[in-house]
Amino acid sequence: MKAQLLEKFKEIYGDNGGICAYFAPGRVNLIGEHTDYNGGHVFPCALTLGTYGIARKREDKRLRFFSLNFENLGVIESDLNDLTPYKEAGWTNYPKGVMWAFEERGYKLSCGLDVLIYGNIPNGSGLSSSASLEVLIGLMLKDMFGFDVSMIDIALIGQYSENNYNGCNCGIMDQFASAMGKKDHAIFLDANTLKYEYAPVVLEDAKIVIVNSKVKHSLVDSAYNDRRNECETALKELQEVIDIQTLGDLTEELFEANKDAIKSEIRQKRAKHAVYENQRTLKAVQALKDNDVELFGKLMNASHVSLRDDYEVSCDEIDILVNLAWETEGVIGSRITGGGFGGCTVSIVKNDAVDSFVATLGAQYREKVGHEAEFYIVDIGQGAHVL
């Protein structure tokens, strides 16, 4: 891949030496959904799918971007002296946003860059192509300009740029997983404090299979903000009767004993998901440490039921995929992954059942929904690195 991209870079920008190459992965969250902004834990891992970048410094302040994913757009030019987001700049607003965020922190770019990008994360799949691109650019700037920033700093800068430059109010999980991923490990991350540990994901006889529903409903942003507001209100109501900082501070028992302080049935359901999902994530990490993949699968299934019924962020197409997975022999666990209302499911499937899983789910989903799903059999890869 690197050799092919280098050739393409030289074809577009010329062969003048000083060329550097980078990679940053996408991510999938195994369990712990909508817990990050509720003071809870998440459990993502980096994938071997991701974004590649080839770059070289220029003599001037010009920025030139080319993406093999959008070849028809050609080279998009910009300038370091004007890092304003423009609608016409399209996808280049993501790398420009990271450059802007570095400069906001006092890391000045001394010259422009020629950049070539290629990503093999499917668009709209919910596997964090934008975070992958942000982390890639952060690593590129650190390496090429010698900036003294850690990989956690790069994750935070990527999140800051997406929040404040691109206008998407995402949490830290996606960028953190891309920057800090470790091969064959998931990251047990406290999204509140950024304390983390690596947990080995040893699936001796199974694979992680991601299924892309190929649908994304337009509810996502407004519904996401609604859920956040409902949980914040539920927390305030609970704080009148119990001393807690976040919903993540509660055990299931404490929640059940005090839930009547929440004055709305909807808010009770939202808070219940946040509390129970956080506890499921703690149990899931312990299950993997105990090499109990079957229990991990049961917790994944329970996570989906909670996201469907209590948090109400699933949709018909996703429920069809999960229900089909649950009915398929060799499936250890399956759930929605990501923000919801479409996107992907993540399943753990025994090795000898993977082929039939893909064939059976593919045919039945097409029959029920009327279009194809996409299947990715993935490995857990390392975080962003210089190639």
Which helix (H) or strand (E) element contains residue 209? strand 206-216
Q: Which of 174, 190, 205, 352 is catalytic?
A: 174
Pick from 367, 352, 311, 364: which is nearest to 335 by CA? 311
Question: Has 60 been annotated as catalytic?
Answer: no
Pick from 18, 19, 45: which is nearest to 31 by CA? 45
Q: Can you name the residues that pair with 207 across neighbouring β-strands? A: 349
Within 10 A of 197 (CB to CB), how many other CB atoms are there?
A: 11
Rg (CA), the chain: 22
The Cα–Cα gap between 299 and 32 comes to: 10
Q: Which residue has the tokens 């010009």?
A: 62
Q: Strands 62-67 and 113-119: what pairing?
A: parallel
C-alpha torsion angle, residues 372, 377, 383, 385 (rounded to 10): -90
Is 337 within 8 Å of 343 (Cβ atoms)? yes
The Cα–Cα gap between 308 and 302 comes to: 10
One-letter identity of residue 106: G
Q: What distance, in Å, lies between the first and last C-alpha atoms of the chain?
A: 10
Q: Please identify every residue annotated as catalytic.
A: 174
